[in-house]
Amino acid sequence: MNQEPQTIQRATPLLGDPFPEMNVQTTHGPMSLPGDMKGKWFVLFSHPGDFTPVCTTEFYAFTKRADQFKALGCELIGHSVDQLNSHLKWVEWINEKMNVEVPFPVIADGLGTAAIKLGSIHPGKGSNTVRSVYIVDPEGKLRLMLYYPQEIGRSVDEILRAVKALQTSDNNKVSTPEGWPKNDLFGDEVIVPSPKDEKGAKDRKKQMGDACLDWWLCHKKL
């Protein structure tokens, strides 16, 4: 008798979904997410493992830019399936050897509970968390996700840029072009939302003139 193949259910949140609720132990003590971050932006970033070369360079970069995230009202939270003692020792090593102080908490997810909820363990890449990034807004909504393989380090500057772009888009009801605020076409200008009807399309170029390449592609300074 043929049996139906077993389906493995993996939780993978989608953009716009509420960030999965979780109670976690961190290097700064217990946390409840996203509740403890209510009203704030936060970036949760998973790394494959403590005491590994690429992850160490990333933690150094996040630490050096922590004040820039803080200036945007954005908190940083690290995460992996390592045990708490490993996190504590690794953070201590980074502080001593690299002459910095890691200011953000790191989730110790030894049982992988948080990783399963986030979808940050990819079976094809082993049992460690992949290099994933989750940007969450003050309403607790997941706004951006990035995934990297273990052998490729992230650009922390790009993550910082993405937070700035999301906040700019939300606050001004605009879009941001490629590489903003250093776009090859428009520099630090933003993209104006498209018209909603035919009349708006006809009026757009008259109203904005040289700021439009066409009615559907207009840009402006903030």
Q: Write the CATH number for 203.
A: 3.30.1020.10
Q: Are residues 53 and 135 in the same domain?
A: yes
Closest alpha carbon to 160 in 62, 52, 40, 39: 62
Note whether residue 8 is domain-resident. no
What tokens appear for 56 in the block? Answer: 């160490």
Q: Are residues 129 and 204 in the same domain?
A: no
Tens digit of each residue's pLDDT (9 = 90 or more) over 64-115: 999 999 999 999 999 999 999 999 999 999 999 999 999 999 999 999 999 9
Q: Are 134 and 43 in contact (CB under 8 A)?
A: yes
Q: Are residues 76 and 146 in the same domain?
A: yes
Note whether residue 1 is domain-resident. no
pLDDT of residue 126: 63
Beta-bridge mates of residue 30: 25
pTM strictly above 0.75: yes
Q: Does 30 sit behind a cis peptide bond, omega within 30 degrees of 0 on the bond before it?
A: no
pLDDT of residue 42: 98
List the strands of the sheet with 212-214, edge to edge: 190-191, 217-220, 212-214
pLDDT of residue 19: 97
Q: Are 167 and 197 in contact (CB under 8 A)?
A: no
Q: Are residues 95 and 128 in the same domain?
A: yes
Rounded to whole angstroms, the Cα distance separating 49 from 192 reads 42
96 lies in which domain range? 22-151
Q: Are residues 146 and 220 in the same domain?
A: no
How many domains are there within the chain?
2
pLDDT per position in the chain (222 positions), as tens? Answer: 444 433 334 568 899 999 999 999 999 999 999 999 999 999 999 999 999 999 999 999 999 999 999 999 999 999 999 999 999 999 999 999 999 999 999 999 999 999 999 988 777 666 678 899 999 999 999 999 999 988 899 999 999 999 999 999 999 999 999 999 999 999 999 999 999 898 988 888 788 888 999 999 999 999
pLDDT of residue 165: 98
pLDDT of residue 222: 94
Q: Which residues are designated catalytic?
A: 55
User: Which residues, 6+ apart, have CB-to-CB distance to 222 below 8 Å?
Assistant: 168, 172, 174, 189, 190
Q: Are residues 73 and 112 in the same domain?
A: yes
Q: Does 13 sit behind a cis peptide bond, omega within 30 degrees of 0 on the bond before it?
A: no
Length of the chain, please? 222
- Residue 219 DSSP SS3: strand
Q: Are residues 49 and 133 in the same domain?
A: yes
Q: Are 19 and 134 in contact (CB under 8 A)?
A: yes
Q: Which residue has the tokens 């650009």?
A: 155
pLDDT of residue 3: 42
Q: Are 90 and 54 in contact (CB under 8 A)?
A: no
